[in-house]
Chains A and B, each alone.
Chain A
């Protein structure tokens, strides 16, 4: 297993390097630069700014200088927010976005997982159709619609919950977590239903039932393990996606997370920030994929045996 993890980590390095290189050169080919503004920038000022950000160097020197900084973990100063480093901005938003993503995922797992399992136990009945229809609505309804709807009902009409902020007023984390989690809950519901249906038709489940095990034990001890593997495989990329894709929810609820930096860095041509967020996100995706593969392998006895860790 350790060898598997190490080899996957080594494979990740060239992947991330390709991502950095492609991003580095692509952002520089986009029209407009970080210092363009509606009011004309005087040439002497532009020269001074370019010198301060090393943009006056030949592009290959800029590239290697960036890689050198990156090797020591320095993502450089932000162009848009002078006085702040990209590291600092990323790490100020990361805990918030990660917390939001965690709650969203938790909601997705609890609601989606429960709905999916129940649906799979009574296929083609009301208990299947109702949660699965709700899941379909969840998938179809974008967060920019669901968010304002929840705000209108629970924040303004009923006045139960705060409509913005994060950790400032008790309860202000509820609506954003539900908004972000809803679509994922829907996916989890469909995935767990499909996974469970497949597992429940397997021979070993029939054997377990034939042995006289109570139904709840069949489900919890035998079926869930296999049935939730597709969900686990989905969770890794989903969590990385949650970190990157929380932009809309963060904007609706004025949450000081990372999402808006991903999007705005590109609009601002904030080169270091674009690179920083890309490096950060690609690393996360690689890591979470690895983690979900490891968990899936651990949950699946056949794969576990392959790595020599199984019984």
Chain B
């Protein structure tokens, strides 16, 4: 085949004149200049921390801004960010944050406690329409203010005691509150900059544009070309700038996962957001593989409508859950890129392990189905499983359909729906079984278990249990130790899984390709990265990694 290249080169020379020859790749250039080239998934909605939601936005905003605390990239435990330390009082109900005197905005202004009061007012204000306003609901009166029941923000539990001291009063001790301070919806914004372009609650102003935006993180916005790239450079005012090794980052919208993988192969990217499933075995087989897979704080499950026959019968729900061979599903359909799940909370959620109330047991499943009145599937009224149009969901649904047919003798129909139609069906509870995924916003079992409280916005199953509600909403927040709290969650989750309003399928993993020259992109449960720890090492190439 070697003759093809010269022959084609001569034949197509006029067309390719500018292109033939060696081009320096982004990675080689980036390693030399200290610039990380980062595949970031979809084009971001925007960069306003109180307006946007989504993973690509999270990556960008966390590079530009910093919260009161920062999660350790390995353990995810909160560490000092804008706040250099904090103190608890009144059994954890009052937290006083002491701001780092070196914490500065990119225009040189100091970050003050008043900035936080103003920003939380904006984040919670009913007119802002912040989808993540509830992140601040543990704060006293925050929910009432956000819903318009309290109109004076002075009644909300956040006060600037002086320029560098912020006092936060909570409704109840909230062990995960410090983690929420690393969520972008709780970040401070530079009030004078926002007010220059509009009023506090405006969503549409151009304050986040290049040249306008003032931020307080490790990087500043340098370039934003829609659908092309977002460039950032190292901040000169960031308090911890000496620890930042990168000179800049370029984020690329890489919606097409196949194209993203190709860009990685020709060294246009240091890191991909995802990896196409069919490419994973090839990457895994390589020595010193660029493929990195880690447990992820998310669960893939099927929601069950508990108010419609036949799934209104708990025995039917249990039979369906027990007859799924998750190990086989994960191995054959998902190429071992997921972990079988038997409960809603992912294992090792900051030391919490969920109960395993059942296992793959087709014998017992058939017995339960017989008890429910459908021996060997006789008299089965049929069941419809809906999922949003996506090849991966379809594969899982087909496998589930076959397993239920084989083990229980029941027929189900599977239907795909366009994304918004599917969301509408789920929220209107117009389904029998529906695919669902939940990705945690913070590492705590509460984030998964409060989904199923009575009439919870994400419950959608009709499941309602006053005892469960009491444990999750009342008892757990008042537990004195982490162990006691986890024991209560364990009890609640056991109860939930016995009633089976959902069928857990698998726990997600994060999957990336990372160039061997990159160090410091630590895999963790939240796939949360902090670019300040990233270093680049020129000379390490993909070929070298494969040949070693």
Please report A residues at the B interface, Cβ cutoff 8 Å: 30-33, 36-42, 44-46, 48-49, 51-52, 77, 80-85, 89, 92-93, 148, 151, 155-156, 158-166, 168-171, 174, 251-254, 256-257, 260, 267-269
Contact = CB atoms under 8 A, between A and B. Distances in A.
A159 B266 CA distance: 8
Interface in B222-275: 225-228, 252-256, 258-259, 262-263, 265-266, 268
A49 B131 CA distance: 9
Contacts of A268: 420
Contacts of B16: 160-161, 171, 174
A40 B129 CA distance: 13
B204 A82 contact: yes
Interface in B101-160: 126-131, 133-134, 146-148
Contact of A83 (B51, B133, B419): B51
Given A31-B424, A37-B423, A174 B127 contact: no
Q: In terms of DSSP, what is the predominant structure of the interface of chain B?
A: loop
Q: Which of A32, A33, A252, A253 has the most CB of B within 10 A?
A: A32
A77 B204 contact: yes
Contacts of B134: 42
B350 interface: no
B427 interface: yes
A255 to B, nearest CB: 8
B53 interface: yes
18 contacts: A32-B423, A40-B427, A40-B456, A40-B458, A44-B147, A44-B148, A48-B129, A82-B46, A82-B52, A83-B46, A89-B226, A93-B227, A155-B262, A169-B23, A170-B19, A171-B18, A254-B259, A254-B263
Nearest to A155: B266
Contacts of B18: 170-171
Contacts, number: 154
Contacts of A89: 226
A171 B17 CA distance: 9
A160 B19 contact: yes
B206 A39 contact: no
A164 B47 CA distance: 25
Contact of B266 (A33, A44, A163, A260): A163
Interface in B407-436: 418-425, 427, 436
Contacts of A257: 227
A82 B45 contact: yes
Contacts of A44: 126, 146-148
B383 to A, nearest CB: 22
The 6 closest A-B pairs by CB, nearest first: A32-B420, A40-B457, A171-B19, A256-B227, A48-B129, A256-B228
Given A44-B147, A89-B226, A163 B263 contact: yes
B285 interface: no
Given A37-B53, A51-B127, A83 B203 contact: yes
B322 to A, nearest CB: 27
A93 B52 contact: no
A48 B128 contact: yes
Nearest to B207: A83
B280 to A, nearest CB: 18
B457 A42 contact: yes
A30 B47 CA distance: 29
B437 A38 contact: yes
B182 interface: no
A174 B203 contact: no
